[in-house]
Amino acid sequence: MHRGKGMKFVGDSRVPAERKPNIPKDYSEYPGKTEAFWPNFLLKEWMVGAVFLIGFLCLTVAHPSPLERIADPTDTSYIPLPDWYFLFLYQLLKYSYASGPYTVVGAIIMPGLAFGALLLAPFLDRGPERRPTKRPVAVGMMLLTLAAIVFLTWESVVTHDWEAAAEQGKIRAEVEIDKNADGYKIAQANTCTTCHGENLQGGPAAPSLVGTGLSAEEVAKIAKDGQGSMPGGIFKGTDEELKKLAEFIAGLKAE
């Protein structure tokens, strides 16, 4: 029997009005278009599944997930980034009317309205029409939402400082530093550690001083005159102290 012919349906749905006894359908009308579920169909399904499984395995081996350094809850300068599918919400929180004193608007009210409307859609839109052209309001809202999500995700990607993000998450070699060495004490006394970190491992604003590959003379020059965004005149000690400090830092080798 042809499906739909002489059948009554409930409303616009695909549920037939009269329930039929559960007898397998007669496919003799379609010779060659049908096959046994076991083993023919299942074997095909399994082969497709295996292709995807092996494909994903190869991908994970070729592109291992990018690991960052161990999370440090005391590091308030670390700016976390959500996964790509939440970037649009993250971006929303950057706009002035949705952040700061209005965080509630960006974090709860706007997403709440959107998801609430989605939840209530079956109750709000009870028209029997199925065709998109006959449902301009619902389709318009959906397109608007999609456009907003695409735009916000895009904005978030192009405005993010990916270099700084890579820098802050970098895995740094942990190096045991002799904190009783004269060189370390001089570094501490001259505030080098406030920027370069207690272990001279680098901080949010300054690079690591471990394994710089610089000679003692070069370090001494930087300590006195500065370099790039490091101001000069930080070192305030004697020439002898400068030599000790420079030799100490030049001697810090990454393992």
The residue ranges that bind ligand HEC (CB under 6 A) are 187, 190-192, 194-196, 205-207, 209, 212, 214, 219, 222-223, 227-230, 234-235, 245, 249
| Closer Cβ to ligand HEC, 169 or 202, answer by number | 202
Which amino acid makes up residue 83? D
| Closer Cβ to ligand HEC, 59 or 173, answer by number | 173
CA–CA dist 99, 231 (Å, integer) = 34
In whole angstroms, how close is the CB of 139 to ligand HEC at the nearest point? Answer: 53
User: Cβ-closest residue to ligand HEC?
Assistant: 228
Q: Are 240 and 231 in contact (CB under 8 A)?
A: no
| Closer Cβ to ligand HEC, 169 or 207, answer by number | 207
In whole angstroms, how close is the CB of 158 to ligand HEC at the nearest point? Answer: 25
| Closer Cβ to ligand HEC, 29 or 217, answer by number | 217
CA–CA dist 125, 141 (Å, integer) = 12
In whole angstroms, how close is the CB of 243 to ligand HEC at the nearest point? Answer: 12
In whole angstroms, how close is the CB of 238 to ligand HEC at the nearest point? Answer: 13
CA–CA dist 248, 122 (Å, integer) = 71
Burial 56-74 (b: 16+ CB within 10 A, else e): eeeeeeeeeeeeeeeeeee
In whole angstroms, how close is the CB of 208 to ligand HEC at the nearest point? Answer: 7
Residues in the chain, how many? 255
Q: Are 232 and 223 in contact (CB under 8 A)?
A: no
160 annotated binding-site participant:
no
58 annotated binding-site participant:
no
Picking from 161, 235, 234, the residue whose alpha carbon sits closest to that of residue 204 is 161
Which amino acid makes up residue 14? R
| Closer Cβ to ligand HEC, 152 or 192, answer by number | 192
Phi and psi angles of residue 21, each rounded to the nearest 5 degrees, phi first: -65, 150
Annotated binding site for heme c: 192, 195-196
